Amino acid sequence: MSDSILWYTTRGAGAVTLILLSCVVILGILSTLRVQSQSWPRFLTTGLHRNLALMTLVFLGLHIVTSVVDPFTNLGWASAIIPFSSSYRTFWLGLGVISFELLLAIVATSLVRGYLGHRAWRAIHWLTYAAWPVGVLHGLGTGTDTWSAWMLAITAGCVAGVGVAIALRLTSGHTDPLAPQRAAFRAAVDRREAR
Amino acid sequence: MSRAHGLVVDRIKCDGRGLCAELLPELIRLDDWGYPILAPGAVPQHLLPLAQRAVEECPVLAIALRRTEHRR
């Protein structure tokens, strides 16, 4: 296989991963906001969220494998697993490794969510708010195409989309109509069990 | 006595996300606040796959399928 094909694949898969991951983050936030309409049931949001997340991992795998195999960067498999161990763009590539490993933890725990319990799963799922920005920084710092107009447009679109979703989430307050009552009840149960 | 399955909702965990009622309207409807009301009795055989899906899709893991003593 020609080296340039590997190099193009790495860059393309990186860009696709950014787009998919941003969509996954937005869908995840929309699901907590209980967005729905006549033609868009809530299970569609969560189903898309999950399936696009799995697809993100496929493109992320492609991105990582092609960049390691590519002789130009001369990375080696260790630098794809150990953060900041590559001689090539050490810092920016290390951010990519960190983001990748956080995403692996998030997906793996989601696949066994039923055994893990909701609280532990949710705590780990919050790591998304670290994995996504670290991944974006990785793209900005090491991306070959970062300053080309189309890649700037993609990155800006992804950041804007996720930014708007987070802003909506922060301003929406409780989405559970009986949240205060349930919190009071749960506190009472905890008190009784503590005795 | 056959192996019947029934749905149970953990009322403390449930926060009314409503996915279960979307996936299994045959057995689950929502009250005025969006919390599920289950049809009594065992889950009919042909609805078991949908019931299983409703269990898996619950965002807060508040609904479960349990073996019950219901006679079918």
pLDDT value for B70? 52
Tell me which DSSP letter residue B17 carries: -
Look at A185 and B18 and tell me if their CB atoms are within 8 Å. no
Name the more confident of B12 and A175.
B12
Residue B40 makes CB contacts below 8 A (sequence gap 6+) with none
pLDDT value for A87? 80
**How many structural domains does chain A have?**
1
Look at A185 and B60 and tell me if their CB atoms are within 8 Å. no
Residue type, A61: G
| DSSP string covering A20-64 | HHHHHHHHHHHHHTT--BTTB-HHHHHHHHHHHHHHHHHHHHHHH
The Cβ-side half-sphere exposure at B25, using a 13 Å CA radius, reads 3
User: Domain span at residue A106?
Assistant: 3-194
- Tokens 């949710």 locate to A122
From B43, B46, B17, select the one nearest B30 (Cα to Cα).
B17
- CB proximity A118 to B under 8 Å: yes
Q: Which two tokens stand for residue B24?
A: 């299994």
Q: Are A138 and A95 in contact (CB under 8 A)?
A: yes
Name the more confident of B21 and A70.
B21
Domains of chain B (ranges plus CATH)? Answer: 4-68 (3.30.70.20)
Q: Which two tokens stand for residue A161?
A: 């989309």
Say yes or no to pLDDT of B50 above 60: yes
Mean pLDDT of B37-54: 94
Report the complex ipTM: 0.85
Range A143-177 burial, b when 16+ CB lie within 10 A, else e: bebeeeeebeebbeebbebbeebeeeeeeeeeebe
pLDDT value for A40? 94
pLDDT value for A80? 86
- CB proximity A114 to B under 8 Å: yes
Say yes or no to pLDDT of B71 above 70: no
From A115, A55, B9, select the one nearest B19 (Cα to Cα).
B9
Chain A residues closer than 8 Å to B65 by CB:
none
Mean pLDDT of B10-39: 93
Nearest CB to A34 within list B17, B33, B60: B17
pTM here is 0.87
pLDDT digit string (tens) for chain A, length 195 residues: 567 899 899 999 999 999 999 999 999 999 999 888 889 999 999 999 999 999 999 999 999 999 998 887 778 888 888 888 888 888 999 999 999 999 999 999 999 998 999 999 999 999 999 999 999 999 999 888 888 999 999 999 999 999 999 999 999 877 777 778 778 888 888 888 887
Residue A59 makes CB contacts below 8 A (sequence gap 6+) with A13, A16, A17, A20
pLDDT value for B44? 94
Helical (H) or strand (E) element with A182: helix A179-194
